Amino acid sequence: MIPCPSCRRHTFTARNMLYASLDGAAKCRACGKLARLDLISRWMLACMLAILLPMVLLYGNVFYSGHLFVVSLVVILCAWRLLSVIGMPILSLELVPRATCLDRRQSIMTFAVIVIAAAIMDGFMAYRIDADEAGASTQSVSAVPRPQ
């Protein structure tokens, strides 16, 4: 458990970090204030993701497919939650400086908009990849000399 940065009670569990809103803010059960991972904790998680993401995408044969954005989005969000749960003993929290944060409904709506935008980008990339491959195959067929 991680202590709350405001009341110093050990109230934040792995479940709180797993079910935090999309911006990473979680509410303390004791004092009701919002807290999120501090800057150093966010940097550690971001560096781990920057190291792991290209490897996962390349070895998963997703890097050059038409589903790059959707898969990247899901991998990043799931890995962020998973790494924050795994790293609970060494991570620390800070108070959220503003009173407003994303609630569950706003998080779901934001996630849906991001997934739709990623699917549109993936569709565009898949169309371009297929068009390039079709153009390359027609050029290679027409370049072959015909037997007489």
- pLDDT tens-digit readout, 23-54: 778 888 888 888 888 888 889 988 988 898 88
Beta strands 10-12 and 34-37 are unpaired
- The predicted model scores a pTM of 0.66
* Rounded Cα gap, residues 121 and 70, in angstroms: 9
- pLDDT tens-digit readout, 90-147: 888 888 877 666 777 887 888 889 888 888 887 887 787 777 666 666 655 555 555 6
pLDDT in the model for residue 147: 63
Residue 79 has pLDDT above 80, yes or no: yes
Distances (CA, A) of 92 to 39, 74, 84, 144: 9, 25, 10, 65
